[in-house]
């Protein structure tokens, strides 16, 4: 089985393209402003993937990537140029700067950072501004000149310029990347799930997790989507020590919503997944039912039913019009017809389905369709009954 953290960054299109874009920018003698979310999945694997890609670029095989965590290494730094000189330059070069030229040019001319990529991370908003300003005035020209990668979270208004690339996680990685990742993971790791359960779970997790593949994989590993409400497994993950800080800075992150017990927001995403996966399947079964019982439906539509509330004889209406074609009968109409009594003989149902399982199936389809139409997520018990019985074999 693959290492799924590495698989996300090397095999899924969006994440792989992001890594390739950073590697290419560095090869093109640009420093990089890499805007990532707080809940970036698998930080270390992303950095390793970019470093590997960079080393595969011509003239960059000998470059060394060094990580500087500003919060830990230099939280109070004000003069970035002086800090770099003192850390990387020979003593005589560090002491030789007289301010007659820009610090950035002096560092480049004296080859202070040759064959290095400094990856700057762990910055607060003010630190990001200082590092960004320094790097925008830093312009490598030689193949050996050092470069920077600024891993930022607070700044989203930077724009591309010569020797300074801006790469945004949100521009390159989309929810469908996560759906694809989820589908492959479930296919390889959860073979006990049927194809439909795999599809349902993949879509569910992508809608809940957006592009956070790390949390999504944890959900797929922990949650039993075929037998328990998703919130149960989510609560386990939200309380897991490995994930306690995940979602901390984003009140829309799924783990933040779980910790706040925001069932409305969570339910809305579950509903979207059910609408996307189950709704087409409901229509398939409706069409199948109409094909099997076409004659009986046609006969029922031509009959009048007795309205016990008004005491009148009525024809079946749908959306304000009399319906005559069985193919046009919606699930709600079909279900209603199985409950109405004929005007000519109120001991008979307007549409009688002799098979009990088929009657129960129509009721289930109606309940699911009705919930989805009203924006309500369906209970897992009904979802499981529906998926496990699909496609249903109607008795004629």
**Eight-class DSSP state of 294:** H
Write out pLDDT tens, residues 280-335.
Answer: 999 999 999 999 999 999 999 999 999 999 999 999 999 999 999 999 999 999 99
Tokens of 334: 């079909």
Tally of CB atoms within 10 A around 5: 19
Taking CA 73 as the corner, what is the angle to CA 247 and CA 121, rounded to the nearest 5 degrees? 40
The partner residues of 68 in beta bridges, in order of sequence, read 120
Give backbone dihedrals phi and psi of 373, rounded to 5 degrees, phi first: -65, -25
What are the angstrom distances between the C-alpha of 345 and each of 263, 305, 348, 349, 350?
A: 48, 9, 6, 9, 9
Q: Is the dihedral of CA 180, 181, 182, 183 positive or negative?
A: positive
Tokens of 214: 């790390």
Looking at residue 155, its pLDDT comes to 87
CB 5, CB 19: distance < 8 Å: no
CB 35, CB 170: distance < 8 Å: yes
**Mean pLDDT score of the chain, rounded to an integer?**
95
Looking at residue 157, its pLDDT comes to 85
Write out pLDDT tens, residues 67-116.
Answer: 999 999 998 899 999 999 999 999 999 999 988 899 999 999 999 999 99
Where helices occur in the chain by DSSP H, the ranges are: 4-11, 13-27, 43-55, 70-73, 80-88, 91-95, 103-109, 125-136, 169-172, 175-189, 195-209, 213-222, 230-238, 254-259, 263-292, 294-302, 331-337, 356-373, 380-388
Question: CA-CA distance, 131 to 124, in Å (whole number)?
Answer: 11
Question: CA-CA distance, 263 to 238, in Å (whole number)?
Answer: 14
pTM of the complete model:
0.93
Looking at residue 109, its pLDDT comes to 96
Q: What is the pLDDT along the chain (396 residues), one digit of tens a residue?
A: 569 999 999 999 999 999 999 999 999 999 999 999 999 999 999 999 999 999 999 999 999 999 999 999 998 899 999 999 999 999 999 999 988 899 999 999 999 999 999 999 999 999 999 999 999 999 999 999 999 999 999 988 888 888 999 999 999 999 999 999 999 999 999 999 999 999 999 999 999 999 999 999 999 999 999 999 999 999 999 999 999 999 998 999 999 999 999 999 999 999 999 999 999 999 999 999 999 999 999 999 999 999 999 999 999 999 999 999 999 999 999 999 999 999 999 999 999 999 999 999 999 999 999 999 999 999 999 999 999 999 999 975
């Amino acid at each position: 089985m693959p290492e799924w953290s590495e698989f996300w960054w090397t095999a899924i299109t969006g994440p792989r393209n992001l890594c390739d874009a950073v590697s290419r920018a560095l090869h093109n003698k640009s420093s990089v402003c890499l805007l990532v979310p707080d809940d970036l999945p698998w930080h270390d694997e992303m950095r390793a993937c970019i470093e590997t890609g960079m080393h595969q670029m011509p003239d960059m095989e000998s470059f060394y990537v060094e990580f500087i965590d500003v919060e830990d290494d230099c939280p109070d730094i004000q003069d970035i140029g002086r800090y770099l000189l003192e850390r990387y330059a020979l003593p005589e070069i560090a002491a030789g700067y007289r301010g007659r030229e820009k610090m950035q040019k002096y560092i480049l001319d004296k080859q202070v950072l040759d064959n290095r990529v400094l990856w700057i991370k762990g910055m607060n908003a003010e630190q990001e501004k200082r590092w960004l300003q320094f790097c925008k005035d830093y312009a490598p020209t030689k193949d050996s000149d050092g470069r920077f990668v600024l891993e930022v979270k607070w700044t989203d208004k930077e724009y591309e310029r010569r020797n300074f690339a801006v790469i945004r996680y949100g521009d390159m990685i989309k929810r469908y990347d996560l759906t694809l990742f989820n589908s492959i993971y479930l296919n390889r790791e959860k073979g006990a799930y049927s194809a439909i359960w795999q599809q349902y779970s993949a879509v569910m997790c992508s809608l809940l997790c957006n592009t956070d593949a790390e949390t999504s994989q944890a959900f797929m590993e922990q949650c039993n989507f075929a037998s328990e409400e998703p919130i149960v497994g989510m609560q386990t993950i939200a309380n897991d020590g490995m994930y306690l800080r995940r979602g901390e800075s984003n009140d829309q992150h799924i783990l933040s919503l779980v910790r706040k017990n925001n069932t409305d927001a969570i339910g809305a995403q579950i509903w979207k997944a059910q609408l996307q996966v189950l709704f087409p399947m409901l229509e398939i079964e409706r069409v199948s039912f109409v094909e099997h019982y076409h004659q009986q439906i046609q006969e029922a539509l031509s009959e009048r039913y007795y309205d016990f509330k008004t005491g009148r004889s009525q024809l079946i209406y749908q959306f304000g019009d009399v319906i005559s074609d069985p193919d046009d009968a919606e699930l709600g109409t079909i279900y209603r017809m199985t409950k109405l009594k004929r005007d000519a003989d109120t001991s008979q149902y307007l549409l009688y389905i002799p098979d009990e399982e088929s009657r129960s199936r129509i009721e289930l389809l109606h309940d699911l369709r009705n919930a989805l139409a009203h924006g309500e997520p369906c209970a897992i018990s009904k979802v499981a009954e529906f998926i496990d019985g699909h496609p249903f074999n109607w008795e004629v």
